[in-house]
Amino acid sequence: MEVKPTQPQITTIKVDVAELKAALSNWKVGESLLAVARESSQQGRVMLQIGNLAVEAKSDQPIRAGQQLQLVVERLTPSPVMRVVDNIQPPSPQSIALKNLLPLQRPISELLANLTQLTQTKVVTQLLTAASTAITPSKVNSSSTPLLTPTLPGQPVTTSATTPPPGISRDEVRAITQLAQRLVSQISSSSDISKPGALEQAIKSSGNFFEANLLKGLQGLNRPTPNSDFKAPLLQLLDLLRTVSSSKSLPPSSDKLPLSSELTLPGSAPQAPARFAPSLPLGDTLRMLADLLKQVEGSLARIQLNQLTSTPHQATEAETRPAWLIELPLRNGERIDLVQMKFEEERGKNSDGNAEKQWSVKLAFDLDTIGPLHIKVTYAGGSISTIFWAEQHDSAELFKANMGELEQRLTKAGLVVNKLDTHSGAPPFKNGLLAAESILDEKA
């Protein structure tokens, strides 16, 4: 059998005749076949696997073990001839992780609403009253919960062979609620971020830079301590919930994501996050545990997706531009709001018509008093432009009435104001993926 090249030239030099005849009865001219190298080529020879058929072939180009080749049948008689049409590259680790995490993600705002409820004294008292008095292993103590856990969102929990207690014990309730309290208390408030440097610190501790900050810490650089990062207590809570669940027979989670809630694709333009009311079934502690575990896993998956897609993306064949998508939680009284922020480098033109590098920040959030709000801030050449899109007409009019005051404050801060504008409705942002590799298989 002969394989003609488009890339490497491969000519069959040995094949089992009986197996080849069986294969020939199924192959058709023009058919596409997938071949996989069973081992790396040596001295110009390589063993290929085509379906159930092992073919020893000769190649004038090196082939590595596991390499995939797309072949097209050009002729079957008097001897088979195939052409290499594609040298298939295996998916990158980033692409695999994206596709695995995408179905696991859940809105972070959903979890935050429920964690805030678990910090309320009356709720803690209710859970302690309903809790079992079963003896709890000391390993669920929240103060001894490790910072990092080797397990990942979506990984199954191993169930202990011992007889499970009837429900969550009081020690377990205390451990869970204390960790929830610590997580909520370390989230910056909306008034905190108005202080110099506070917003920058909050962004650095949003979870997107957790591993990078750990690495900087190991290198002796001045970075936020890992425990102050939003992702750190989430990992601790995940480990705690899995430890508690390992000795329980948990019912299926009752947590169903409402169809009305929208999860933006990682890397797309920010959208005002959906608002959630507390939804944990406090009267059924085991089902509450199952729901909470699912939400923590989903929120961590969401953060990991933001991290994976917040990488330099290919704008053109010759240019790569950095971009970051961050979801920043902010305490606002007894509620926690979530702000989506997208930072990216863009290309624009200055007043002379020449190309100019500029930075833009897009923000999206939903507040009780003004509704969904989108903001785009662009900085280029020492000047700043800001555009607001308020989905409620009254809110748009309110922003228009205060544009003069905003311009004065920006000028006082030393910025040159180029443009300030307000629109009623949703912004015309294009939802394009930032990652160089799409998380969707266009050939599926």
pLDDT value for 98: 81
Show the tokens assigned to 192.
């905190």
CATH class of 313-424: alpha beta
Global confidence as pTM: 0.71
Q: Give the start-to-end residue ranges of the domains of the chain.
A: 2-88, 94-309, 313-424
CATH of 2-88, one of 2.40.160, 2.170.220, 2.40.50, 1.10.287: 2.40.50
pLDDT value for 1: 54
pLDDT value for 47: 84
Mean pLDDT by 10 residues, the chain (444 residues): 52 54 77 85 83 77 81 77 68 79 89 95 92 53 43 47 64 95 92 85 90 80 70 95 90 66 57 82 91 95 87 51 86 88 80 77 87 91 90 92 92 90 83 39 38
pLDDT value for 320: 61
pLDDT value for 130: 85
pLDDT value for 193: 87
